[in-house]
Amino acid sequence: MKLQRLCVIYFSPTGGTEKIARFVGGELSSGLGLTPEFFDFTKPEDRQTQYHFGAEDLLVMVSPVYAGRLPNKLAPEYKAKIFGQSTPAIPICVFGNRSPDEALRELVLLLEGNGFQTVGGAAFVGRHSFSDKVGAGRPDQADLAQITEFCAKAVEKLLLNQLPHLEMDRSEIGPYYTPLKDDGAPAKLLKAKPQTDGERCVHCGLCARSCPMGSIDKETVEAVGLCIKCQACVRRCPAHAKRFEDADFLSHVAMLEHNYIRRAENMIFI
């Protein structure tokens, strides 16, 4: 298989998914002798065009995991904007140390339905966007070693032109994970939105520019539209003026910190 392009698309509101996407791109670049082209799918303006790939391209598609699935507001955009023509693809999901659940299978099925042929797939651990304690330091050196090994095996398959049907369950995708409060009851997060500390805020507008849904007013810097709880505004605010105060959200974070500090394992299919 004579590949002409190495293309990496990622959705990464807080930078964790981008970190893994760029590392994978670099590892594949070394093995394939191709300079990676990176496509940021994060902001609304990045999702205004369709991406079409051919048989001589390799697509690496990297998405975070939200509630055990692909982000529910982004999956339809992935499906409507990213197309292949018998294009080899490597789907990768990044999860916050709890579980990838159905996300990787969902991404495999979505890409295969849009004209891609799966080379291999993986779900790698990153720090959870809700808490620095959950998945702290991930990906670490052991994770990066696993990613390097995964990329080397993918390169070998591509250079030998060996792309057999990937052994993975392709049955119907299960439901989204139900977030839980610290007492085990379901956490109702739908209405949770970031609040602004007026004494800290310097009105730089970075939160509005960082929101992947375009849901923060540029003048008031308040959330006025759909919030996907990605934490981009919280983590990118230079004045630490953004926070979530919703009781169910905070209880869910406490539950994660009490139950998911243990080291989760990466999931690899190659």
In terms of DSSP H, where are the helices of the chain? 16-32, 75-81, 103-113, 141-159, 206-210, 232-236, 247-259
**Which pLDDT does position 165 carry in this prediction?**
73
CATH class of 194-245: alpha beta
User: For 105-163, what is the HEC assignment?
Assistant: HHHHHHHHHCCEEECCEEEEECCCCCCCCCCCCCCCHHHHHHHHHHHHHHHHHHHCCCC
Per CATH, the number for 5-173+263-269 is 3.40.50.360
Q: What is the pTM of this model?
A: 0.96
**Which pLDDT does position 1 carry in this prediction?**
67
Contact 232, 15 (CB under 8 A): no
Please report, for the chain, the start and end positions of each structural domain, with discontinuous segments joined by +: 5-173+263-269, 194-245
**If we measure between CA atoms, which residue out of 219, 142, 232 comes closest to residue 193?**
232
Q: Which residues of 193-204 are buried (b: 16+ CB within 10 A; e: fewer)?
A: bbebeeeeeeee
Average pLDDT per block of 10 residues along the chain, 270 residues long: 94 98 98 98 96 97 98 97 97 98 97 96 98 98 98 95 80 95 97 96 96 96 95 97 98 98 97
